[in-house]
Structure 1
Amino acid sequence: MEEAKGEVRHVLLAKFKGGLSEDEIDQLIKGYANLVNLIPPMKSFSWGKDVSIENLHQGFTHIFESIFESTEGIAEYIGHPAHAEYANLLLPQLDKVLVIDYKPTVVHL
Structure 2
Amino acid sequence: MKKIFTLLFVSLALIACKSEKSEIQLLEEEFDNNTLLGKDLSTEPPLQQPDSVLRHVVYFSFKDGSTEADIQEVVDAFRDLKGKIPGIMGFEWGVNSSPEGLNRGFTHAFILTFHSSQFRDEYLPHPDHKAFGDVLRPHMKDVLVVDYWARK
Which of these residues, 44, 48, 51, is aligned with residue 2 of structure 1?
44
Q: Partner residue of 1:87?
A: 133
Higher percent of residues as strand? 1
Q: Partner residue of 1:17?
A: 63
Structure 1 range deviating more: 11-20 or 91-100? 91-100
- Stretches of 4+ aligned residues off by more than 2 angstroms: 3-6
Secondary structure at the counterpart of residue 54 of structure 2: strand
How many residue pairs get aligned? The number is 106
Aligned AA (2:67): S
In 1: Cα distance, 2:95 partner to 2:135 partner: 20
* CA positional deviation for 1:92: 3.5
**1:41-83 residue CA offsets vs partner (Å, 9 max, x unmatched):** 0011111011001111111111011101111110010021100
TM-score by length of 1: 0.90
* Structure 2 gap ranges (5+): 1-42
Higher percent of residues as helix? 2
**1:80-108 residue CA offsets vs partner (Å, 9 max, x unmatched):** 110011112213321111001100111xx
Greater C-alpha Rg? 2
Tell me the C-alpha RMSD between the 2 structures: 1.6
Secondary structure at the counterpart of residue 63 of structure 1: strand
In 1: Cα distance, 2:89 partner to 2:56 partner: 11
Q: Partner residue of 1:71?
A: 117
In 1: Cα distance, 2:72 partner to 2:121 partner: 26
Residue 32 (1) aligns with residue 78 (2): yes
Looking at both structures, which has the greater relative contact order when contacts are Cα pairs under 8 Å and sequence separation is at least 6?
A: 1
Taking every aligned residue pair, what percent have the same amino acid on both sides? 35
Residue 58 (1) aligns with residue 132 (2): no
In 2: Cα distance, 1:98 partner to 1:85 partner: 19
Which of these residues, 66, 78, 91, is aligned with residue 45 of structure 1?
91
TM-score by length of 2: 0.66
* Structure 1 gap ranges (5+): none
